[in-house]
Structure 1
Amino acid sequence: MSTDKLIVRHYFDEPCKLADGIARFAATSLLESLASKNFASLVLPGGKTPRLFLPQLGKLNLPWERIQLTLSDERWVSTTNPDSNERQLREIFLKGMSSAPRFIPLKTDHAHPKEALSIIDAHLAGMSLPFDLAILGIGEDGHIASLFPGMTLDSHEAHLCQVATPPAAPSLRISLSFRTLVEARQVAFVILGKSKRQLLDRLLSSMDETIPFVKLLQHRSVTVFESDT
C-alpha cells in the first residue's frame, strides 16, 4: 500500500513538544472551520494518551463556546467508573475551563449500548458534521476508537456510531462508526513510545484490510504526531 499521499508524520523528541504540537494543530484546524461557520466540532480519544495533551489543549485561547465536543468511543460503564472516558475528560480537560465547549457524551443510562444507538445518533447529528477534527490513538492490534480487527467497517454505514465488543476487555463499548471517521475533515493520530512507532511502521506496510487503521488509510489522509517517549 502506498501511503505517501495519505499520511503526514510529525516527530517530536520530547512528549511536551508533541503536546504543544497537537494542541496548536487542533487550534489551527478549529479556527479555520470557525472562519466559515458558527460552530466547529472536535472528537477526542479516551485511554491514557490524551492525558499528555489535553491540559495543553485546554489552555489555548479559543472561542470554546463555539466548539462542540464528543469522544471517539466510550466504555459502557458508569460515568463515575475510573475506566470511563467521559470521567477522565471532565477531570483533566473540562473542569476549570472558564468557557467550556458543548460536550455531547456517548454514554446513556440504557443497560446495553444497542438500546441507545438511535438516541446517541440523534445527539451526534445535532453537531456540526462532518466532524472538523478527530484526534485518535492506535491500539496494539491496530484498532482505532473502539473499532477492532474483524469488525465490519463500512464507509457507507448509516449510523454515526456503533456497538463494539473488545476481544479481551470486560465491558461493551460504543464507538464512532468507520464512516464517521472517514468523513471527518481532518484526522490526527497521537503515537507515544518506540513500540507504538514500530507498530505504526508495520501497519503502514500492511495490506490487511481487517485492521481498522490500515483500512482507514485506504479511504482518507491522516496526520500523525509521534514521539519515542
Structure 2
Amino acid sequence: MMTIDEGVGHDVTTAGIIVLEDDDAVAHAMAAWLMQSALDKEDGPLVLALSGGTTPKRLLEVMAGPEYVARFPWKKCQFFYGDERHVPPDDPDSNYHMSCEALFSHVPVPPENLHPVPTGGSPEADAAAYEAELKKLYGAETFESGRPLFDVVMLGIGPDGHTASLFPRQPVLEETRRWVSTCVPDDAPHVRITLTYPAIHSSRHVVFLLTGSEKAAMLKRVRRGDDASLPSSRVTTEGTMTFVIDRAAAEDLSDER
C-alpha cells in the first residue's frame, strides 16, 4: 500500500513524489491510503478537503466500490471542499454535485459529516459562512502551530498553474488572514469560493493528485517553485506535501526519478 513519508517536505520544491502506473493506480492507491489513515486515527475524526477534477472523481468512484462501502469508517470522517463554483448544488459544474454522483449517494456517510460550500447567498456571505463552519470545527479563531485544521488537503494543478480556486492574478493570492475567500478568475467561468493559502497550510498532509501527459510540463514548472505567477507553486503546509502522479504526468521529471 502507498505510504506518505512523514519526513517529506513542506513546499513544492521539497515535496515527495510517488509515481504510479496510470490514473487508475493513482485512484486506488489514494483510496487505500485514505481508508487506512481514517482507520488509524484515534484523536478525533479524519478531516478531509476534497478537490474537483477528473482524477479526484476517479478516486471517489473507487471509494464507492463494495470494498470501501463496507470497510471505510464513514462516521469517522468529516468531508469539506477545497473550493467550489458559486452555482446551485445540483449544477453540473458543482464540485459537490460531482462528489455526490461519484461517491456520497452510494455510501453511508452521515449527512452531518458532509460539508458542502454554501452557494445560496452572495459569494462573500457564503465564503464567510464556510469559514465560520471551519472555525467551529477547529475551535479557535486563529490557527495554532502544531494543531492543523485538516488531516488531508487534496489538490490538483490547472493548465494555468491554479490550484483549488487560487487563480493567477487574483487578489485572493495575497490573502493572509481569512481562511475562505472568493475569487473571480479572468480566464475561467463562475465566481469561486476557495480555501486560502493559510487554511491549506494548516494541514497534516497536502496531496497533489495529477495524471496525464498534459500535466507534465506544468508540473515541472510548479516543482521548481521559482515562478510566483503560478499559484500552485506558492502552496505550503505545516505537515507534509506529496505529489501522487502517474507515469505520463512524470515524463518531464526524469532528472528527479
TM normalised by structure 1 equals 0.88
**1:80 alignment counterpart:** 90
Residues 116-154 of structure 1: CA deviation (Å, up to 9, x unaligned): 232111112233551000111111111110001223435
Q: 1:67 aligns with which of 64, 77, 96?
A: 77
CA distance in 1, matches of 2:23, 2:29: 10
**% identical aligned pairs:** 27
**1:104 alignment counterpart:** 115
- Note the C-alpha offset of 1:38: 2.4
- Note the C-alpha offset of 1:222: 1.3
Q: Name the aligned partner's letter for residue 39 of structure 1.
A: P
Tell me, yes or no, if structure 1 residue 226 matches structure 2 residue 249. Answer: no
Q: Name the aligned partner's letter for residue 215 of structure 2.
A: K
Q: 1:210 aligns with which of 200, 215, 229?
A: 229
Gaps of 5+ in 2: 1-10, 139-147, 250-257
Q: 2:22 aligns with which of 6, 11, 14?
A: 14
Compared CA separation, residues 71 and 26, structure 1 to 2 (3 A): same
**1:41 alignment counterpart:** 47
CA distance in 1, matches of 2:13, 2:152: 19
Q: 1:91 aligns with which of 78, 101, 126?
A: 101
CA distance in 1, matches of 2:207, 2:128: 27
CA distance in 2, matches of 1:180, 1:174: 13
Secondary structure of residue in 1 paired with 2:161: coil
CA contact (8 A) 2:205 2:239 kept: no
CA distance in 2, matches of 1:211, 1:65: 37
CA contact (8 A) 1:142 1:211 kept: yes
Q: Name the aligned partner's letter for residue 145 of structure 1.
A: A
Residues 171-226 of structure 1: CA deviation (Å, up to 9, x unaligned): 10000111111111101011111120222112212412232211115977411111
Compared CA separation, residues 131 and 217, structure 1 to 2 (3 A): closer
TM normalised by structure 2 equals 0.79
> Size of the alignment, in residue pairs?
224
Q: 1:147 aligns with which of 148, 166, 173?
A: 166
Deviates more, 1:213-222 or 1:116-125: 213-222
Residues 23-80 of structure 1: CA deviation (Å, up to 9, x unaligned): 1222233334x22x22120111012222211122344222211210011110001111
CA distance in 2, matches of 1:4, 1:162: 23
